[in-house]
Amino acid sequence: MGCTKSLDKYKKTKTAQAGDLIMSVRAPVGAMGKTAYDIVIGRGVAAIKGNEFIYQTLVKYDADRYWKKLAAGSTFESVNSNEVKGAIINVPQDIEEQKKIGEYFLNLDHLITLNQQKITLLTKLKKAMLEKMFPKKGSVIPEIRFNGFANAWEQQKLGEVFETVTDYVAAGSFADLAENVVYRDTPNYAQLVRTTDLKNGFHSGSNVYVDKKAFDFLYRVNLDKECIILPNIGNCGEVYLVIPDDLPYKHNVLGPNAILIRSDTSDNVFLSILLQGKDFQEKLSLIISPNGQTKFNKTELKQISLNMPKQSDEQHQLGAYFSQLDRLITLHRSKIDKIKNMKKAMLDQMFIQ
């Protein structure tokens, strides 16, 4: 049997000891954490002495926007001491039940943290290897190479490496686009792929579609072949490798504010990694407009010089190595999403609403 109790029972203090619960009482109201040290707390946070069950209860309160509803209408989002103390929570009378519930969710949190740590390590490894397996500025030979390769890398302009450099507006004038392309919010012949879709893995929930007429009109940016997408208005510097079979929709075209590039002679997987490297990113930064929203154009992009191996085998091995790192990072992100979804579902089912 459970009972309801006020949070006032769980002492709210101006100091916190290691293990105490910390709650934000100003924007973002309700965010929860724990302290690993003895601390003195400042304005904007409250320290609460409670067990793991209480912590997970307050995590659920935050997810359910309980505190934000209390703060609604305030000029500055916040909750006061009385509102925190007066919050009513449902608590099992059996301490052992509290303990088991708390331990269950603590284990889920540990799994999330473990996967986040693996992502951090893999991201650091990728950054380090990008610097060592690609020549430094002024050099034509990388510090680390796969066995069997010794030739110096060669410089080529991006416009020479990529036979295709195009974008959404290459289809025609704004008047032509307005006449031939109509955005639709329900499934149609093709999906209009935006860089935000590529960034969030098509999980925004607000997809855009076009009909067959628009799809044919936008043939230059048809995503039916492996290619690389570079946002050129906002988020400049991001690089997305597009593999047609990995896209969620059968027919796809690229939306505005991005450039599609494709090589028919070099390894596009390798090239997508090359464009993430320090050398290209520094050169790209020089052509990005510093005023207002960041942007660059195709003409200047084509003039950027790329330092790359001539041998296709070396390109392929480099692309495969970094693709494996990316797959591992994606795998751990997917695990985190699954655990978070499980935690949310179990919070709803194991706590009284």
Residue 203: is its pLDDT beyond 70? Answer: yes
- Kindly state whether residues 179 and 302 are assigned to the same domain: yes
- Kindly state whether residues 198 and 287 are assigned to the same domain: yes
Residue 228: CB atoms within 10 Å: 21
Task: List all residues 6 or more positions away from 26 whose beta carbon is below 8 Å from its beta carbon.
Answer: 43, 44, 45, 76, 77, 78
DSSP3 helix / strand / coil % (the chain, rounded to 5): 45, 20, 35
Tell me the pLDDT band of 7, cut-offs 50, 70 and 90: low
Mean of per-residue pLDDT scores for the chain: 93
The string of pLDDT tens digits covering residues 250-296 is 999 999 999 999 999 999 999 999 999 999 999 999 999 988 889 99
Task: List all residues 6 or more positions away from 178 whose beta carbon is below 8 Å from its beta carbon.
Answer: none
Residue 82: per-residue pLDDT: 87
Residue 6: per-residue pLDDT: 66
**Bridge partners of residue 22, in order along the sequence:** 33, 47
* Residue after which a domain boundary falls, among 48, 77, 93: 93
Q: Which domain holds residue 11?
A: 2-93
* Residue after which a domain boundary falls, among 78, 93, 108: 93
The string of pLDDT tens digits covering residues 34-54 is 999 999 998 899 999 999 999
Residue 85: per-residue pLDDT: 87
Average pLDDT, integer, range 82-98 = 91
- Kindly state whether residues 160 and 273 are assigned to the same domain: yes
- Kindly state whether residues 251 and 116 are assigned to the same domain: no
Any idea what the CATH number is for the domain that residue 187 is in? 3.90.220.20
78 phi/psi in degrees, rounded to 5:
-165, 160
Give the helix ranges, DSSP H, for the chain: 52-63, 66-71, 81-85, 95-132, 158-161, 174-180, 195-200, 212-217, 268-274, 278-285, 298-302, 312-350
Residue 350: is its pLDDT beyond 80? Answer: yes
Residue 37: per-residue pLDDT: 93
Question: What's the CA gap between 43 and 264, in Å, rounded?
Answer: 59
Residue 106: per-residue pLDDT: 97
* Residue after which a domain boundary falls, among 71, 93, 115: 93
Contact status, residue 31 vs residue 65, Cβ threshold 8 Å: no
- Kindly state whether residues 8 and 25 are assigned to the same domain: yes
Any idea what the CATH number is for the domain that residue 335 is in? 1.10.287.1120
Residue 1: is its pLDDT beyond 60? Answer: no
Q: In 3-state terms, what secondary structure has residue 7? A: helix
